[in-house]
Structure 1
Amino acid sequence: MTQAQADTAVKVPEHPSPRAAGCPFDPPPALQALQADAPVSRVRIWDGSTPWLITRHDHVRALLGDPRISSDATQPGFPHRSAGGKANDVSRRTFLTMDDPEHARQRRMVTAPFAVKKMEALRPSIQKIVDDLIDAMLAGPKPVDLVEALALPVPSLVICELLGVPYADHDLFQRNTRVIVRRHSTAEEVVAASDELTDYLDRLLTTKLARPGEDLLSTLATERVATGQMSQREAAQMGVLLLGAGHETTANMIALGTLALLQNPDQLALLRESEDPKVVASAVEELLRYLNITHSGRRRVALEDIEIDGRTIRAGDGVIFANDIANRDPEAFPEPDRLDLTRDARRHVAFGFGVHQCLGQPLARVELQVVYSTLYKRIPTLALATDLDRIEFKHDGIVYGVYELPVTW
């Protein structure tokens, strides 16, 4: 009997598994059990395949940095998130699902605009966006849905400005992004949503080629498409990736982070009362560790046999890195289930690790620092306007968060 047959001869747990009732901020109990007892183990996913699930923090970092682990979503054995995700991954390749050297070549085309210094230079304009939105909240009726009033507009306005996408079209890209990130969307629904977004970005690129501006899409049009380094369709697909990732993840983090802080008033007080930017920056890292909204894991496939924790991951085996439970590993973070804004959480893997770690993390950090350092000071009596058990969480999404967050003051 082969190792794979032996692994699947016993009961293989289904993945993803449900969170515990009443514990919306914690990873599923099944992940905690696997981390303790079988940190490298097989799980069964939507298509019946049984990739490996990696749950320990040190294993996640080691393997995500290992060149024998591939991000190529066209490889046999790649553990796609869903039927819709598979259709999208295979038909629309971006640097997220490529290996070096092609990954590095395409990623370099958009690395400079997201550099730390350039993102820091955006801080005043992000601060104005946040202040203006809070002004509108305070001037209007209450309670208010914080998702619609603040969490979604902040990153959407910022990424639109950065890319050169008209914010007036936000309904189009937000609606289609919701379809793409919903785990139960059909392949046809995901492909249709991706087509609409790609066509939209393609038309924008045509406009940028004729009348370039001071934005990232104009740079792609004039420096990459016009010179033949990439096709216009490839540039449009890259634009879809940047537009979706640039608003969806941060929006969920703003809302879910606020809810977590409201449930931990002692930690909220630390953040609200501090004037130290280092305290705010540290708080952002801890919230990223504690919540880890990319709760579907990083997906990879092994190119060669790899020995780890006494197990052999064979070439062609799918591998899922459960970064949510890795960020709750007690070997890496003492008392991991406690939200502690004074903790040094910088080694978290919320943004991944290795050459594929999140390109937009400098932007996300600045946005979160501005929101978290402003909202609770300007509205010190901010409170949840409903019961926690009445809030609908995004259990069905590849990005975790809340659909609405009713707040008052």
Structure 2
Amino acid sequence: MKRPLSTRLLLQLQSPTRTLTNPYICTSCFQSRRARFSTSPRLNANPPPPPQSSYALLPSRRLISLSGPDAPHFLQGVITANIAPSTPRTSGFYAAFLNAPGRILNDVFIYPDSNNLLKGKYDGSGGENWIVEVDAQAAETLYKHLKRFRLRAKFDIRLLPEDEMQTWSLWKEDKSKEVGMGWTPHTIPTETVPAPAGHIECVDIRAPEMGKRLLLLGGSKPPAEDTEGLVETDEMSYTIRRYLKGVAEGQDEILRESALPQESNIDYMSGIDYRKGCYVGQELTIRTHHTGVVRKRILPVQLYGAKEDEPQTLEYKPEVEIAAPPAETQIGRFEKRGRSAGKWLKGVGNVGLALCRLEIMTNAMQGEGAGYKEGDEFKFEWKTEDGAENLVKVKAFVPAWHLSK
């Protein structure tokens, strides 16, 4: 016999698995629901620090294949690097695609497929097969851009499925002299070294100890001889390392049709050849190099609380829970008035990248116009969707490899 409604309600209120605020929701469900929709930060939500010696698959990267006799000539006219130096290339290199006014469309790695691993439409002899590695979010856009300007050039272009070929990054930070791992300017392989038979590779010379990159057919892992002494990790470890070294990558950090090559450190990262022939966007790039002053650059930054002391060294602290500003939030002076000192790009936890005005935020520019003084502090200030005001302080760091350029 079914009990009266009043009796059922009384039993529910007396049950230890019910809450007094809502007799129809049990405690466990209520706690689960509250945790799911809570807006307060979770403790230890940040990823751990990256391993010193490791390798990681990079799902954020996609590949475009250009196969045919006209592929190198076409690429030579649309990228900032030189695809045809004095000796034939057997490994990948860093470069960028620009638009006509000299703004960055995409930062890329370009690899010769000398062994024709992708079995292109045309014979791979003579270095006629090339692979462009680009930000996965922008791969479709770049693919359509290249197809539009191919015209009657004799080469086939194809956006590779994600599982056909993948990008891996390998690194060591133990000052190893092994080529491609503990990188120094004297360990870059010459272009006469034969290409490996089973994969395509590239020393990542954008910054010291960035390691090397491998292109492997889908489902494959780096060879055992390359991963000896390394542990496999995820792409987040690779990303945190990039931020700590001040290396921007992809269109969330190098803003499409807005960023300039020198402001994005493409020149410092060996991505521009100032002695090559004409290419799209060359005029402004060359003029800036010879006559202009680069007053803004992407730098690694550290976020810290409004009541905390300024950090003296750049350090990723996973235990720190701090709110990051929305993308492109302007940098202001802390407790002072003045023009914008830059803007936020992207980060993880308490570290990230920002486009910074050097004369305001650093002592890298001396002389007339330099406004930085020791002890100056800077901030991000913004409102959330519910109207709450947020403020965090930010410190910019000039990497040592900038100063050596």
Larger gyration radius, structure 1 or structure 2? 2
Name whichever structure is richer in strand by fraction: 2
TM-score range, shorter chain: under 0.3
TM-score, normalised via structure 1 length: 0.28
